[in-house]
Structure 1
Amino acid sequence: MLKWIFGLLIVIAAVAGGFWASADKDMKALISSLPTDANVLFWSVEQRDAGFRALDRIPILAKSNIIAKGDTVYPLPKGEPITIGTDVDAYMKAQRTAGLVIVQDGKVRLEKYGLDFDAAGKWTSFSVAKSFTSTLVGAAIKDGYIKSIDDKVSAYIPDLKGSVYDDVTIKQLLTMTSGVKWNEDYADPKSDVALFNIHKPEKGVDVTVSYMRKLPREAPAGTKWVYKTGETNLIGVLVSSATKKTLSRYLSEKLWAPFGMEQDASWLIGSTGHEISGCCIQASTRDYARFGVFMLGGAKVNNVSILPDDWIAPATSKQADIAVPGKGYGYQWWTYDDGSYAAQGIFGQGIFIDPKRNLVIASNSNWPKATDPDTVGVQREMFYKAVQAAVDAEAKPIGK
């Protein structure tokens, strides 16, 4: 997903004056075995273990904006340990889990860490960031920066005018149903998801906009679902353009500070200064869990929702058919037919939210592969079901 020039830049950073004096153990672990390929997908497992907790601290490799926390912290009190009908330690080992936090009825029912990670650390989100980005669209509508979800995208990003995006609405971007042709194959070096991150933009044009406005149409807008990280990046450009604020600042103002996240977070920025909105928030596992709690509570700050009244229900329910039984896609959320929904990123990042059970499962991992739906993916789905079953068993009257 992230086609950065890793190898060369890390070498430059490693030999820069004073680097080793300030490098922490995560950086030393990463640089001790430099990747030879430019793509994070081809890093070794050990390099990812170090890099995923430190992407925003690799000099030169990536710049980032701070998502500032506030003065108060939303409490996550410790609850009774939950009894899950599966071996949690074995599950975490199989998933290569760095952090796992289960919150139910507002209390932490389970919190465990692995891979020498802990509650103070921050792990990269990958595409979990997409769900934060879509939430900022809702906030921008509530604040009046964006008039309607049915507005055309090019009305907010003038450099898209004259492209296929003249026919695409904000809602179609959110649901990834633009009908614009796109290849998200992470293993293909000629795919769009690989090429658009190394694209050289025209002067004065955002790199994502420059690449996306040249794409052709393959289906009428609104008729075909295709997963497109590039379009989430367009959403980020749209929100920044509409609000005249960076995504990091807007996220801090609307949610991170007033709701009470425990730590500052960061968001990597691309070559033209916009956050990589389809990816790359660095935050603690507990704060990812707090985002789930925030959504469960109606996205409220001081008892007032930051989102329009008609936002959460459609955002977190099936708006697009993804050809997988029991699942769908909402506004940058993966949806389940039982009413639960999730933010998900490659290598096992996730926030699973179940409103019926008042349940949040936040996890950060380093799967052996970026995506592997038939092994670790199935294991995660089974774990979610096991936790749901444990909550149901507690609620069942004795003797029933």
Structure 2
Amino acid sequence: MLNKFIILIFLLCFSVTSQAANKWPSEAQTELVKQRQANFPWQNIVAAVDWYSPLEQVPGATNPAPLPEALNENDKYTAAEKLVAQYNSYALLIWQNGALRYERYWPGFSQQSRYDTASMHKTVVALLVGAALADGKITSLTQPVSDFLTNVKPTALGNAPLRSLLEMSSGIGGPAFSSEATSVGMQTFLGDDLKQAYQHWPMEHGLNAEFHYSNANPQYLSWVIEQATGLRYADYLSQRLWQPLGASDARVWLDHEQGSARTSCCLQASARDWLRIGLLIMNEGRVGDKQIIPAKFIRDMVSPSALNPNYGWQIWRGSPHNPNRKYSRNSPFSVPAKQPFNADDVYYLDGSGAQRVYIVPSQQTVIVRIGQPSQDWDDAALPNLILK
């Protein structure tokens, strides 16, 4: 039986409506999902990274760049470690004022460990949209999806501008949750044909009518990136982000060999490399003296979107204070922030179950927490221990 919390995670991006499968999936596709369900590490979804196949390598730098370190212990860092230890954490990294100040791995984990941090991948997709804009492969975020993906031309999604996908306001929702191997949700998450599966996702709202956190948005953006650049997603990610960042190799799930990368989740990377992503955003797209992503794109990315002031472009915002953040109007799941954040410019990557990268440019701070999924994580608690 599926763990109750994992079911809630699925429900974040799935709808409460239903939709017919139209004689799909095939028996072979159904059997494959059953096999993957049987093998799925439901109780260890973040740390178990070798069970799934196929995976595609995302080559990093030949010699990963060292991170400046000035490791020390103080009362704030000790309190932060004590807090996250209560949530069965695997890694805690704290960067402040130009150096890595604190780095802790719990038994069984190290600098080399990679993790499946779920929706943190969504923010990476947004950064690659910025790269494609800088490269002239995308002309404008007002371009509709159908400029790149001909199979969606006659649909409402095809008319949606890229910006609406970044802001989760394209109108696309999600399929009804079901653990059945034949369901649209399970065929999307564990099946072998993402393009076919996403054709069954419903348009639930009008364009720019409602914020709805849907896995379909980053997935379609990744296909736009591939079509615009002429490269496989993993190759463009490697060339435009992972290698310039000085990161180590990563991996991404594919639906089938040489197929589509799953980009709403499923990027396996180390805690240090997630720190590098946070630093890239904190430094407005710069790595050293190189501008990797345009600074204006980063500023726009972390600005409030029209329909949700706590969301930018595939990234969350701590201000204004929202004590009970929801993923859509009808979502059964929310994340509390019992107190306001101690800075007005807290931005964060949110992976299900409290996988987090907190970014605070005004205090030159990046915090990475990775660990066992938690149902009662308070988003403000950890950063507020560190921030002045």
TM-score range, shorter chain: 0.7 to 0.9
Q: What does residue 35 of structure 2 align with?
A: 8
Q: What does residue 305 of structure 2 align with?
A: 319
Q: What does residue 317 of structure 2 align with?
A: 335
- Matched AA of 1:285: A
Alignment of 1:58-69 (within 5 A): 58=51, 61-69=53-61
Alignment of 1:169-318 (within 5 A): 169-183=161-175, 193-197=185-189, 207-261=193-247, 263-271=248-256, 273-301=259-287, 303-318=289-304
Which whole-Å CA distance do the structure 2 matches of 1:101 and 1:190 have between them? 41
Which whole-Å CA distance do the structure 2 matches of 1:386 and 1:302 have between them? 28
Which of 351, 360, 363 is the matching residue for 2:366? 360
What is the CA distance between 1:79 and its match in structure 2?
A: 4.0
Q: What does residue 121 of structure 1 align with?
A: 113
Which whole-Å CA distance do the structure 1 matches of 2:289 and 2:371 have between them? 33
Unaligned 5+ segments in structure 2 are 1-8, 11-29, 320-343
Which of 129, 143, 146 is the matching residue for 1:151? 143
Which whole-Å CA distance do the structure 1 matches of 2:279 and 2:301 have between them? 16
CA deviation string 1:301-335 (max 9, x = no partner): 4523222342111211211444xxxx611110011
Count of residue pairs brought into register by the alignment: 336
Q: What does residue 328 of structure 2 align with?
A: none
Which whole-Å CA distance do the structure 2 matches of 1:352 and 1:244 have between them? 33
Unaligned 5+ segments in structure 1 are 10-35, 201-206, 393-400
SS, match of residue 143 in structure 2: coil
CA deviation string 1:159-202 (max 9, x = no partner): 111122122110001111011232586889898544433567xx
Which whole-Å CA distance do the structure 2 matches of 1:209 and 1:224 have between them? 24
Q: What does residue 382 of structure 1 align with?
A: 381
Which whole-Å CA distance do the structure 2 matches of 1:74 and 1:247 have between them? 26
CA deviation string 1:76-108 (max 9, x = no partner): 312443431873443233211100100011211
Which whole-Å CA distance do the structure 1 matches of 2:176 and 2:221 have between them? 17
- Residues 195, 98 of structure 1: alpha-carbon distance in 2 compared, 3 angstrom cutoff: same
TM-score by length of 1: 0.76
- Residues 256, 74 of structure 1: alpha-carbon distance in 2 compared, 3 angstrom cutoff: farther
Q: Percent identity?
A: 22
SS, match of residue 178 in structure 1: coil
CA contact (8 A) 1:268 1:280 kept: yes
Which whole-Å CA distance do the structure 2 matches of 1:198 and 1:118 have between them? 28
CA contact (8 A) 1:95 1:348 kept: no
CA contact (8 A) 1:128 1:350 kept: yes
Q: What does residue 397 of structure 1 align with?
A: none
Which whole-Å CA distance do the structure 2 matches of 1:173 and 1:188 have between them? 28
- Residues 54, 191 of structure 1: alpha-carbon distance in 2 compared, 3 angstrom cutoff: same
CA contact (8 A) 1:163 1:213 kept: no
What is the CA distance between 1:280 and its match in structure 2?
A: 1.2
Which of 140, 146, 155 is the matching residue for 2:132? 140
- Residues 4, 157 of structure 1: alpha-carbon distance in 2 compared, 3 angstrom cutoff: farther
CA contact (8 A) 1:320 1:328 kept: no
SS, match of residue 197 in structure 1: helix
- Residues 187, 7 of structure 1: alpha-carbon distance in 2 compared, 3 angstrom cutoff: closer
What is the CA distance between 1:292 and its match in structure 2?
A: 1.0
- Matched AA of 1:381: A
What is the CA distance between 1:227 and its match in structure 2?
A: 0.7
SS, match of residue 204 in structure 2: coil
- Residues 246, 347 of structure 1: alpha-carbon distance in 2 compared, 3 angstrom cutoff: same
- Matched AA of 2:207: A
What is the CA distance between 1:62 and its match in structure 2?
A: 3.4
- Residues 243, 287 of structure 1: alpha-carbon distance in 2 compared, 3 angstrom cutoff: same
Q: What does residue 47 of structure 2 align with?
A: 53
What is the CA distance between 1:283 and its match in structure 2?
A: 1.4
- Matched AA of 2:253: L
- Quote the RMSD (CA, aligned, Å): 2.8
SS, match of residue 352 in structure 1: strand
